[in-house]
């Protein structure tokens, strides 16, 4: 990994900002969190990490960490309270001041436009089921890119579209309503069209900008390096999953990077497909500059005699995080390798990290050796991919600091920085200093 490699951290607006004030409109997560029984312990993101008021302190922590890049999301309803129309100048000014602070510390911003927090006003107009939703997103994207100007040159349109649709398939994520398969597929198509409209809007407003897309998914890991096992893992990872079409990589990435959905999609779901036109395919496949992928874990798989997928996972005593996700460093080798072979686009690891039940010890420090080991082992795997020719341009640890972890509330901690929520005191963990030293060593060519 050379000096041009981007070393970063990532966050999301609803999870850290708080600041439900100064003209901000509500998002579906504001509404969802205030519905009784939705979130563990009745937690909400009303205050979260109070980043809205403490962003300068947080950027100073990034500077101490030595990162070269920061990936954050914009709260759509903070800048456009109704989702379209009137711009909230106080909300826009918050992000402009954040960008200025990053610029002053030499940290490159990567702006994510949508990290799950649809304006409530747009949800009440049908949300992603409304055929106008791609145009809403384009208006929002152009408003942001035109105001961010020369201070931001890197954008992601949609973060984890798989999880956006997850909120329409159960009750754990906002909006917490179970939609029919027909409606979910229609929403997915509109989401992809919104991506395409967003790319066009960003390029109109900021022709210098670089644009990406940030899906997610568990990596299928070969049980060994034999050609048969590698091909089996590749086939499943890059295949369409019949029982969960919107949960796999190719459902969203093939239309963006290859120009069309997997061919099986048209056959298996012909009775519930939305209308898909050549103009839609052209819109969705707008050229992008890099492929962002969020990778946390993986699984071993097998294929039954009838061709169906057997998800094997790992043994019950395999190390896991506080999210009960398997620790699988090899996912950061096989994932980028398979994705680069298929899509031939520069890759950024836009999220990778682990949750645990951290707490300050009697010396007042947070000793998280497990996270330090996690970062090292995953980066070793990523380094192997780069040495073998995979064009990986950067790594963003999730997350800079502990934050509101969706339906888990504040019970899961992913951060390099511990947040004491009652006082909002920030305490860098041992992993913070280890990541700092690792960045320094690589930038100085020592590792």
Per-residue pLDDT tens digits for 14-46: 999 999 999 999 999 999 999 999 999 999 999
- Check pLDDT > 50 for residue 414: yes
Catalytic annotation present for 160: yes
Instruction: Name which of 38-42, 149-153, 338-342, 378-382 the model is least confident about.
Output: 149-153
* Mean pLDDT of all residues in 359-370: 98
**What does the DSSP assignment read for 269-293?**
TTTTPPP--HHHHHHHT---SEEEE
Task: Specify the pLDDT at position 47.
Answer: 98
371 contacts 428 by C-beta, under 8 angstroms: no
Using a pLDDT cut of 70, give the percent of the chain over it. Answer: 98
* pLDDT higher than threshold 90 for residue 96: yes
Question: What residue ranges do the domains of the chain occupy?
Answer: 6-443
Q: Which pair of tokens denotes residue 352?
A: 């990778």
CA 329 – CA 318 distance, rounded (Å): 12
Q: Which of 6, 101, 142, 160 is catalytic?
A: 160
Q: CA 399, 222, 226: angle at the middle one, nearest 5?
A: 140
The tens digit of pLDDT for each residue in 149-173 reads 889 999 999 999 999 998 898 889 9
The answer to whether residue 199 scores a pLDDT higher than 70 is: yes
Judged against a pLDDT cut of 80, whether residue 112 lies above it is answered with yes
Class of the 6-443 domain?
Answer: alpha beta
Residue ranges in 28-176 assigned as alpha helix (H)? 28-33, 51-65, 76-79, 89-104, 120-123, 133-148, 161-166
Q: What is the pLDDT of residue 375?
A: 98
Q: What is the DSSP string of 327-375?
A: --TTHHHHHHHHHHHHH---EEEEEE---B-----TTS----HHHHHHH
The pLDDT score that the predictor gives to residue 169 is 86
| pLDDT value at 388 more than 70 | yes
CA dihedral 426, 427, 431, 437 (to 10 degrees): 90
The predicted structure's pLDDT at residue 440? 96
- Report whether pLDDT(309) > 90: no
Residue with tokens 């439900």: 20
Residue 279: C-alpha distances to residues 173, 253, 256, 273, 288 (Å): 32, 17, 13, 16, 17
Could you tell me if 330 and 337 are in contact, meaning their C-beta atoms sit under 8 angstroms apart? no
Measured CA to CA, the distance from residue 146 to residue 366 in angstroms comes to 41
pLDDT-derived band at 242 (thresholds 50, 70, 90) equals confident
Q: What is the mean pLDDT of residues 247-276?
A: 97
Q: Count the residues in the chain.
A: 447
pLDDT (0 to 100) of residue 1 = 42
CA distance 406 to 412: 10
Cα–Cα separations (whole angstroms), residue 385 to 334, 336, 350:
8, 7, 16
The reply to whether 197 belongs to the active site is no
* Number of helical (H) and strand (E) elements in the chain, helices listed first: 16, 13
**For residue 322, pLDDT beyond 50:** yes
Q: How confident is the model at residue 237 (pLDDT cuts 50, 70, 90)?
A: very high
Q: pTM, whole model, 2 decimals?
A: 0.97
Which of the residues 6, 17, 142, 351 is marked catalytic? 351
Cα–Cα nearest to 238, from 220, 264, 212, 214: 220
Q: Report the mean per-residue pLDDT for the chain.
A: 96
Q: Is the pLDDT of residue 117 over 50?
A: yes
pLDDT band for position 3 (cuts 50, 70, 90):
very low
């Amino acid at each position: 990994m050379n000096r041009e490699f981007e070393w970063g951290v990532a966050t999301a607006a609803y999870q850290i900002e708080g600041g439900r004030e100064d003209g901000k409109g509500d998002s579906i997560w504001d509404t969802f969190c205030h519905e009784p029984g939705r979130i563990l312990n009745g937690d909400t993101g009303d205050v979260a990490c109070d980043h809205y008021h403490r962003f300068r302190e947080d950027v100073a922590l990034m500077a101490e960490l030595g990162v070269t890049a920061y990936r954050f999301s914009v709260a759509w309803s903070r800048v456009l309270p109704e989702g379209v129309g009137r711009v909230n100048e106080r909300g826009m000014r918050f992000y402009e001041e954040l960008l200025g602070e990053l610029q002053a510390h030499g940290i490159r911003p990567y702006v994510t436009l949508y990290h799950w927090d649809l304006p409530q006003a747009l949800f009440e107009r049908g949300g992603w089921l409304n055929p106008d939703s791609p145009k809403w997103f384009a208006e929002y994207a152009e408003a942001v890119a035109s105001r961010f100007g020369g201070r931001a040159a890197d954008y992601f349109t949609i973060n984890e579209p798989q999880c956006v649709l997850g909120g329409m398939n159960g009750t754990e994520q906002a909006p917490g309503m179970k939609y029919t398969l027909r409606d979910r597929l229609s929403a997915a198509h509109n989401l992809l069209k919104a991506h395409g409209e967003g790319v066009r809007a960003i390029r109109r407003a900021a022709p210098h900008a670089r644009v990406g897309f940030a899906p997610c998914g568990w990596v299928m890991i070969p049980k060994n390096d034999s050609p048969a096992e590698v091909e089996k893992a590749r086939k499943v990872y890059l295949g369409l999953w019949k029982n969960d079409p919107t949960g796999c990589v190719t459902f969203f990435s093939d239309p963006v990077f290859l120009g069309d959905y997997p061919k099986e999609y048209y056959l298996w779901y012909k009775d519930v497909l939305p209308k898909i036109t050549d103009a839609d395919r052209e819109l969705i496949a707008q050229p992008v500059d890099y492929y962002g992928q969020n990778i946390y874990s993986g699984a071993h798989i097998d294929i039954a005699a009838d061709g169906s997928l057997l998800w094997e996972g790992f043994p019950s005593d395999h190390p896991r995080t506080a999210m009960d996700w398997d620790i699988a460093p090899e996912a950061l080798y096989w994932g980028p390798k398979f994705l680069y072979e298929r899509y031939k686009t520069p890759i950024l690891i836009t999220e990778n990290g682990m949750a645990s039940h951290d707490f300050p010890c009697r010396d007042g420090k947070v000793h998280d050796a497990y996270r330090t080991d996690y970062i090292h082992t995953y980066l070793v795997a990523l380094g192997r991919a780069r040495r073998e020719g995979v064009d990986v341009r950067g790594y963003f640890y999730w997350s800079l600091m502990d934050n509101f972890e969706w339906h888990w509330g504040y019970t899961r901690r992913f951060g390099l920085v511990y947040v004491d929520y009652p006082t909002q005191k920030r305490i860098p963990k041992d992993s913070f200093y280890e990541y700092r030293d690792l960045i320094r060593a690589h930038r100085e060519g020592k590792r």
